[in-house]
Structure 1
């Protein structure tokens, strides 16, 4: 007799937009991995639908709009009775975790962390402090080495007292498994926050390594930068390029152009468009891989951030060498050569960009370094089955797994009660408005 298909509910913070963000792309990779197993997948979200939303029903995924602080979700999840519930980011676990536990206690609870928001926020604050204090005293010092290479202990000390870290890591502990896109962030959690390693699964971008020939050096031109403008690290990188990095490149390559693509382009970004300076704000790219394949260099001068960078994976998929910072490269590489250059200051980033732009031999080698890196670290044929095996193993030993995670059980006992009462109070208040 055939076994019934595994039923999966994904509760999304947003509807996935794979052409707008790496987070959307990673979510689609996870969903497609579930579908290849023959699992029945439902995607539910309280968010409004964005203009670049993926067509989930075309893939065989059921869509459902849900509401925050509303008991209608209780009827919905009781009827669906999922075997696995995946929360897309910790805020969804906070909102719906107690309802899932109450009505489907045997469902495996999985958290897609996307990246550690608390780490990204702490790094953003560190950059603000640096710009305010250090650069006020040393206005011409454009070396950000102190920001780019802190020890994990230093990261922990900056994060530990923040509300976001306490909320985020509590959600990780309450879930059965958390998917970590960055192995560096997994080490931060296990070594500094003492999260049990059994609760974490490394699940980076899952990609098909390229096998076809790349567009060659002589058929490419210009620099490219790409990223969702709503994502604060991307906007900061654009400003740094405009004010510091790009003028240095143009001094040495007067005819160079920088094409900046991003979804949800705000007026403050279009105001930076200046063709006379070769600085072109291009709005959203219909196909990021097409524009990436036409560029000679991808610039990703990120001064803060977390997770791993979809734009750099796209660059490698297209055979486009990149110039980035240690923040950009964090969690993405290994001991083998980086497919481009990693630098700490605007001067060094510009020098590396100019040199690589003009050196066909080095550029071609960087292109091949990217192809090899994708095959080593991001192979869908490796990470897809590993994800499924992790979830199946956890499901088959769920009682013991949860018993071993006593802190998580304790957090669920206390936090979910308070969350439940707050949610019910909000719902009652809304009914009386």
Structure 2
């Protein structure tokens, strides 16, 4: 499959901002033809995200590069009858229609599932919302920072203790995992279509994905579990599943869940073989009982060497640990590069972030730079059967730009 698993699949990306359009991006990575439908003029508002206060300053539109790669842009006014007529013609020949407009807006624009499904019985209609398709909050707008991160309890749960200020999420932190959920729903529907010949309506939302990410602790609450005191790092109950500051100010995190086997190896690696037989820490219960004392000891030990040195010392000894990464690490991360987590744009040396799925025997397309607003309007319309005269009329009406 040189051109990707989804070669020949036609996708209409009629969505804005991140989660829903990013699901279309993943389909495009595997060869689908994705038409980005955006309003004339300024286009998808997501194009302007890097202009907001606090975002990194760059000559490149980094947000658009990531989530609009490989796509072709059609600037279409969906509020006009002419624009809706174009949409209906495209839907009739499409495989997948993706939107994140709230249900009420879909109704106003004549693009509900009930309206589009009769145009194409094989259509997969994928909708994404903040809080679900039903109930009093169905039309409530939401971004991942509030509907995913805050609503789910994650914003509260990552606090060191109950007195710490809740932590803000970073841009796209919830949207991109949500995109994978919507992608999974679309692929599931495509499989169903292979068996039945019929399309269907699939959906996902930020709130549901947030509580799925909160996972274990959310389920514990649903089971009526009793929660203990939330403790800061310095007072953690287990010193070998904690994080420590190195000499250069970088952090390392230990995750030694198989303590009985890994404890002697850790003690040897840090040059404290005496801890193996030290009665204070010789057994798992004793280490847990004296966790504060052991954390203080580890703080002193890890502060003696830089992160890179600790990585060399700890690697290859059966110890589970991780680097607390910073953005400066990413461009030169050898493991990410060798595993094609980071890949260059076609004909460019600039890297982008690959979608996190690989299928043996099927190539992904080389990432192509994203389109300008309406860059492919004429091309898309001609493929849909419009001649030059009809295209000129659409442009004159303002329905197409």
Same fold (TM over 0.5): no
Q: Kindly name which structure, 1 or 2, has the bigger radius of gyration based on alpha carbons.
A: 2
Return the TM-score normalized by structure 1. Answer: 0.30
Q: Which has the higher contact order (CA 8 A, sep 6+)?
A: 2
TM-score by length of 2: 0.32
